[in-house]
A and B are shown apart, each in its own frame.
Chain A
Amino acid sequence: MLVVLFLVAAPWWAGRAELRLLGEIYLYLSLACLWNLMAGYAGMVSVGQQAYVGFGGYMLFALTMFVGLPPIAAIGVSAVLAAALAVPIASLIFRLNGAYFAIGTWVIAEVFRLTFAQVNALGGGSGTSLPVSIVKSLASSRSGRESLSYFLAIGAMILVFVSIYFFLRSKRGLALTAIRDNETAASGLGVNIWRTKLEVYVVTAALTAAIGGLIFLQKLRISPDAAFSVNDWTAFVIFIVVIGGIGTLEGPIIGTILFFLLRETLADYGSAYLMILGLVAILVMIKAPRGVWGWIAQKYDIELLPMRYRVQLDK
């Protein structure tokens, strides 16, 4: 709690570069939590979440430039649009299982990328920048904008984290874990598998699009390759979750910290940096298949965020 307060107050103590980095960390953490909810809890391993990141980003640009919505409202609207879009997409890709599901999501993301690359009004394949007037509408001063986008990022992260936490603690979260453990037994107990997965997929899509909007509100420039990058919005996110510990709430936090530590120290080495990331991933998977957090939790039997109803036991 203190840590969160301390972080919320960052604009008063941190420099511009740190602020920007922290904002990026929060958004990555949000993406990681969302991917973890899908893959780690609902068993849907998607490699196509960049579809919604990019969609959210492009919708921010389109809705502000052509509809004239203020940026924050545009992000909200794009989340709703992403949810609406996720329903028919889910009905397509839910026919696929396992590896085929993963590939299917990737194909969808590529379709998104190619589609947005065709839209000339949004700069086609080379992309576009957010007009200055819209940027200015956020806050007139540069530092005002920077703290605003920082607050939006940390707010989004807290929103994502808290909603996932409460969702998983609810009866539906229980059903979700049951589905992951044993689909047959869960359906025999009256859990509607299709609907539960659909809910998770749609909510994840909406929140991912909102995060995408925030990411490109920070960047102020969008292009199809950046918006729908499988590397940036899925591979790194999977790295974070797997390193940290898939299927745990703490995992993505640890993973994000590790990822940014590695990135900030090694980014200057170019492709060697990516090779080291790969090496770390391989090592963790061999030495601690349940991620760093899984390893810690097993060794010391602790949970920072009790998910197993331990707190309720003395009722």
Chain B
Amino acid sequence: MSKVLLQTDSLNAFYGDFQALYDVDMSVCEGETIAIIGANGAGKSTLLRSIAGLIKTEPESVRFDGTAIGNWRADKIAKQGIALIPEGRQLFPSLSVEENLKLGSTVGRTGHWQLDTVYQLFPVLKERRTQPSTSLSGGQQQMVAIGRALMSNPEVLLFDEISLGLAPVIINTIYEQLPNIISQGATAIIIEQDVGRAMAAASRVYCLIEGRVKLEGSTHELTREQITEAYFGVAA
């Protein structure tokens, strides 16, 4: 595999006094897609939020392309090319679809993704571009959230709960587009509750339990049983 683009090195993350992550070591290589799985409260979202700078950590515990970014502000990290598609989509309700997308280009990174290419990816957004973003269906809102992140032409895409609360048919559509989304040279970290989907989309998985990495490995090598055991702490 090519060089490591993003890695965490004994990452500890806190919400006030509460520690959510304990010594998490994780790495993603350039162009790779990895999945993070784990039960609710395992620390998956915390991991992505720490990488994106929404939670401050020790500087050295998150490295991007060799630079320690653990204590950087979120907007600075976004400018470096790490884009988070947050859980629950977090669109801006007073802005239209197109305005939401335009905000994605705030960081000023240029490349393949711009309004045209995002509309090609999700044609339905073009039809709805003038509507308030929150008047869309959940799946369409997720498309806006993805498009908004793509507009920053990121090197690393962080998908938090990509299919949460969406109808299965919408999830299919989004997963069908995933290769197109990621193919533009981007690296991706996906959080997914559906282990089957996570295994299919990613080349490696990390399984978190109670803030610690319980299991990691290539999706080809790990068995369903190993994952179930790591996930629930007991053999199925």
Cβ–Cβ contact A309 & B99, under 8 A: yes
A56 to B208, CA, bound (A): 58
Give the complex CA separation of A182 and B98 in angstroms. Answer: 17
Complex Cα–Cα for A247 and B78 (A):
28
Residues of B within 8 A of A (CB): 52-54, 73-75, 78-79, 83-84, 86, 90-96, 98-99, 102-104, 106-108, 129-130, 148-149, 152
- Interchain CB contact under 8 A, A182 and B90: yes
Residues on B with beta carbons closer than 8 Å to the beta carbon of A175? 103, 106
Cα of A301 to Cα of B95 in the assembled complex, Å? 16
How far apart are the CA atoms of A310 and B129 in the complex, in Å?
10
Q: Find out whether the CB atom of B99 lies under 8 angstroms from the CB atom of A190.
A: no
Q: CB of A16 within 8 A of chain B?
A: no
Asked whether, in the complex, the Cβ of B90 is within 8 Å of the Cβ of A185, the reply is yes
27 contacts between A and B (CB under 8 A): A171-B102, A174-B102, A174-B103, A181-B94, A182-B90, A182-B91, A185-B86, A185-B91, A185-B92, A186-B103, A187-B53, A187-B73, A187-B75, A188-B52, A188-B83, A188-B84, A189-B78, A189-B104, A189-B148, A189-B152, A190-B79, A190-B107, A190-B152, A308-B95, A309-B96, A309-B99, A310-B130
Q: Please name 15 further chain A to chain B contacts, defined as beta carbons within 8 Å, in addition to the given A174-B99, A187-B78, A190-B79, sorted by A numbering.
A: A175-B103, A175-B106, A184-B90, A188-B52, A188-B53, A189-B75, A189-B78, A189-B104, A190-B108, A191-B75, A191-B103, A191-B106, A308-B99, A309-B130, A313-B130
- The list of the 7 closest CB pairs from A to B, nearest first, reads A190-B107, A190-B78, A185-B90, A181-B92, A187-B74, A192-B75, A188-B84
Contact between chains at B130 and A187 (CB < 8 Å): no
CB pair B54 A187 closer than 8 Å? yes
With a cutoff of 8 Å between Cβ atoms, the chain A residues found around residue B54 in the complex are 184, 187-188
Question: Are B75 and A178 interface neighbours, CB within 8 A?
Answer: no
Q: Within the complex, what minimum Cβ distance (angstroms) separates A307 from chain B?
A: 9
Q: Is the CB–CB distance between A193 and B75 below 8 Å?
A: yes
- Is the CB–CB distance between B106 and A184 below 8 Å? no
> Could you tell me the distance in whole angstroms from the C-beta of B106 to the nearest C-beta in chain A?
5
Interface size of A by CB at 8 A reads 23
CA distance A185 to B93 in the complex (A): 12
B95 touches A189 (CB 8 A): no
Task: Report A-chain residues with C-beta under 8 Å of the C-beta of B78.
Answer: 187-190
Compute how far the CA of A310 lies from the CA of B86 in the bound complex, rounded to whole angstroms. Answer: 28
Residues of B within 8 A of A174 (CB): 95, 99, 102-103
Q: A189-B107, A190-B75 are in contact. Are A184 and B86 (CB under 8 A)?
A: yes
A236 to chain B, nearest CB (A): 26
Q: Please give, as numbers and ranges, the residues of chain A lying within 8 Å of B103 by CB-CB distance.
A: 174-175, 178, 186, 189, 191
Q: Is the CB of B102 within 8 A of A188?
A: no
B190 vs chain A, min Cβ distance (A): 17
Q: Do residues A171 and B106 form an inter-chain contact, with CB atoms below 8 A?
A: yes
Residue A177 at the chain B interface, CB threshold 8 Å: yes
Cβ contacts A227-266/B at 8 Å (1 or 0 each): 0000000000000000000010000000000000000000
Contacts of B98 in A (CB 8 A): 309
A180 interface contact, C-beta 8 A: yes
Measured CB to CB, the closest approach of chain B to A311, in angstroms, equals 11
Q: How many angstroms between the C-alpha atoms of A191 and B78 in the bound complex?
A: 9
Interface hits, A183-227 → B, CB 8 Å = 184-193
| Residues of chain A with a CB closer than 8 A to B84's CB | 188
| Complex: A308 Cα to B94 Cα, angstroms | 9
Q: What are the residues of chain B within 8 A of A247 when measuring CB–CB?
A: 94
Q: How far in angstroms is the closest Cβ of chain A from B113?
A: 13
Specify which of A175, A185, A192, A193 lies most central, judged by the most chain B CB atoms within 10 Å of its CB.
A185
Q: Which residue of B74, B96, B98 has the most chain A CB atoms within 10 A of its CB atom? A: B74
Residues of B within 8 A of A187 (CB): 53-54, 73-75, 78
Known contacts A188-B54, A191-B106, A181 near B75 by CB under 8 Å:
no
A114–B91 CA distance with the chains assembled, in angstroms: 45
- Nearest Cβ on chain A to B142's Cβ, whole angstroms: 14
